[in-house]
Structure formats: C-alpha cells, structure tokens
C-alpha cells in the first residue's frame, strides 16, 4: 500500500517509550520505508535505538520549545517533516500525546484517522486495522481506500520487532522555527509514581473501593513492585481519594492491556471493564462472589484482599528464591 511510513517516536525523561518500537512494527506491517520521527530538545542521542528496532531512517526535530509536549509546538514540527517526507502512511502511539496530536494533524492533512488500533491484519494493499468499539464489546475492521493512511496503535498490543544492533540507517535533522505558541511549559511536576509506566506495564495490580484507604494500596504496591508491574485503580478508589487520578483505569481513565491484570477489591463496573477487559490474563480478588468482575476474570479468588494479597506476595517471593 505505502511507499513511506512516518512513525512518531515518544520519549519520557530522555528514554524512548516502548510504544515507539511497537509503532515501528506497525509501520513495517503497513509496508514500505519506515521513517521514525524524534521531536524534542536533545533527543538525537536515542535515534540509533530506533534503527535497531526496525526503523530505516530517523528524522529529528530539536528546539528548546519542544522540550515538553505542546500540541502547537509538536504539530508545527511534525507538519514540517510531513511536508518534507510526503509519507503515504503515519503511525502514532494511542497515548496521551498521540490522542491529542493525531486529530490535529489529521485535520491539517484532511485525512481520516483510525484510532486505538489493537491489531493489524494483512500487509501492503490488503492491510486491515482492527479496533475496539462500544467500550470493547465489539471490534471493527477498517480498510483505507484512498488518501493518507493514519492510525494510532494501543500500547502493549502490537509486538515490537527484535532488537538488532547491527542494523544501520541514516539519521538526519531538520530545523523548524517553532513560533506562535499559545502555551509554554516552564516546569513539569510529576505526581504519578516512579517505576513502570501504567499504560505499558506487563503486569498491573489495580485496587478499587474495597481497598478502603490510601494505606490499603500499600500491599498492592508491594505486589506490583515484586512482579515488576504498575499499580492502577478504579474510578471509585480515585473519587474516594485513596490514590491519584493518574492511576485511574477505565472509560474515563487509561486503557491497559497487560499480560497479567490483578483486580483487588474492584466490583467490575462496565466503565472500568472498558479499560482492562482486553488484558491477556485477569485475576479477580473480591469478597462478593456475585461481583461483576468475575464474569471477565480468567481466575477468581473469593476472599478478603488484605488476606489474599499478603499470601500472594509470600508465594511469589518463595518462587523467586527457588527460581
């Protein structure tokens, strides 16, 4: 289908986000030369890592005003690359940045946008994008007939290509004058926890109202740290001020698709299920055997999370010691 695919790479605190490599894999499926775009300030140092993960070329745009994301700044930078490269397809990650920037770019290009893609079937002219609809209750298949193919991919769904450090490719820079910014970000204060990015975590341990307090999240954090995962929450737990809204999973929060999702004290409201029901393995812990969460769970434990979670921690510690 496409001769050239433009893929937006994302960085966080100087490191590439995993969704950048997944987007390259998606670009390869679409077919053609994959050109990765790095936008920021002092980001050129990670360009070769993109080539190792499958990018054929990397184009960087650096400017002091691009150190922190703003839709005005990044859209000016990306449109300059689009005008230079004239791609037949564009791929972003369906992240906070991608969800904000993609519609703006699609509007400027007067193209369609296939958002939140979870799977790509076929290759070249026969490529078909699969995305969830109706809060994940159904999936639709979308094929682009003409114009620019523009898609955003959900993190943790399309496997990145194997890293090959022997690959080589051209890294070029273009200079863009970033002007007329309505917003200039002076400082970013992070409230979210350190460690694994929730939307890209392979293991998520989430708590609901059943956690009962801010202190109730401590065992969940201990379990998540042990498994190398991230902590999430239902809206009920966030509304009750047990944790920050940055941890919220669901229709009005983050959408996650980890390999393992442990739901502790979560009843399973339909809005929460919309954010996690595509997880590969779901383990539910709840005192109520009739809780809705058990309908989507692969494994269910009827019991008090404050008894079950410590037991799980001990078992996992024992397994790690014996491994």
> Quick one: tokens of 282?
């779901």
Torsion angle of alpha carbons 242, 274, 227, 282, nearest 10°?
Answer: 120
| pLDDT at residue 193, rounded to an integer | 57
CA distances from 191 to 240, 245, 308 (A): 17, 10, 29
Q: What is the pLDDT of residues 201-260, one digit of tens each?
A: 999 999 999 999 999 999 999 999 999 999 999 999 999 999 999 999 999 999 999 999
Q: What is the pLDDT of residues 43-100, one digit of tens each?
A: 999 999 999 999 999 999 999 999 999 999 999 999 999 999 999 999 999 999 999 9
Residue 57: CB partners within 8 Å, gap ≥ 6? Answer: 33, 34, 35, 36, 51, 169, 170, 171, 172
Which part of the chain is CATH 3.40.50.1220? 198-322
How confident is residue 1, by pLDDT bands cut at 50, 70 and 90? very low
Residue 90: CB partners within 8 Å, gap ≥ 6? Answer: 5, 6, 7, 8, 82, 105, 148, 149, 150, 151
* Mean pLDDT, residues 36-44 taken together: 96
Q: What is the pLDDT of residues 183-214, one digit of tens each?
A: 888 888 876 556 788 999 999 999 999 999 99
Contact between 255 and 275 (Cβ < 8 Å) = yes
Q: What is the pLDDT of residues 263-321, one digit of tens each?
A: 999 999 999 999 999 999 999 999 999 999 999 999 999 999 999 999 999 999 999 88
Contact between 209 and 265 (Cβ < 8 Å) = yes
> Quick one: tokens of 214?
């801010």
| pLDDT at residue 323, rounded to an integer | 63
Angle (deg, nearest 10), helices 218-226 and 305-322: 20
Question: What pTM was estimated for this model as a whole?
Answer: 0.89
Q: What is the third-level CATH fold of 4-173? A: Rossmann fold (3.40.50)
Q: Which CATH architecture has domain 198-322?
A: 3-Layer(aba) Sandwich (3.40)
Mean of the per-residue pLDDT values for the chain?
A: 94
Which part of the chain is CATH 3.40.50.620? 4-173
Q: What is the pLDDT of residues 122-142, one digit of tens each?
A: 988 889 999 999 988 899 999
Contact between 34 and 27 (Cβ < 8 Å) = yes
Torsion angle of alpha carbons 42, 192, 196, 153, nearest 10°?
Answer: -70
């Amino acid at each position: 289908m496409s001769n050239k695919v433009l893929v937006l790479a994302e960085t966080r605190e100087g490191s590439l986000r995993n969704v950048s490599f997944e987007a390259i894999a998606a670009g390869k499926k679409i077919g053609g030369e994959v050109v990765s775009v790095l936008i920021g300030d002092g980001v050129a140092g990670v360009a070769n890592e993109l080539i190792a993960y499958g990018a054929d070329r990397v184009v960087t745009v650096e400017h002091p005003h691009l150190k922190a994301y703003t839709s005005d700044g990044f859209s000016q930078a990306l449109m300059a690359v689009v005008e230079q490269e004239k791609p037949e397809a564009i791929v972003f990650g369906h992240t906070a940045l991608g969800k904000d920037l993609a519609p703006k770019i699609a509007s400027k290009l007067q193209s369609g946008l296939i958002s939140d893609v979870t799977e790509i079937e076929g290759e070249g002219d026969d490529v078909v994008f699969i995305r969830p609809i109706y809060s994940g209750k159904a999936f639709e298949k979308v094929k682009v007939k003409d114009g620019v193919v523009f898609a955003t991919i959900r993190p943790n769904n399309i496997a990145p290509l194997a890293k090959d450090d022997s690959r080589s490719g051209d890294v070029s820079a273009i200079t863009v004058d970033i002007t007329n910014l309505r917003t200039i970000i002076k400082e970013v204060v992070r409230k979210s926890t350190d460690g694994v990015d929730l939307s890209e975590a392979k293991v998520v341990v989430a708590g609901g109202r059943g956690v009962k307090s801010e202190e109730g999240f401590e065992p969940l954090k201990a379990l998540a740290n042990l498994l190398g995962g991230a902590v999430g929450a239902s809206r009920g737990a966030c509304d009750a001020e047990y944790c920050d809204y940055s941890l919220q999973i669901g229709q009005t929060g983050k959408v996650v698709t980890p390999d393992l999702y442990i739901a502790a004290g979560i009843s399973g409201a339909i809005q929460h299920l919309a954010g996690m029901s595509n997880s590969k393995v779901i383990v539910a812990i709840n005192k109520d055997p009739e809780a809705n969460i058990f309908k989507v769970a692969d494994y269910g434990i009827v019991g008090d999370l404050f008894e079950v979670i410590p037991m799980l921690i001990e078992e996992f510690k024992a397994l790690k010691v014996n491994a």
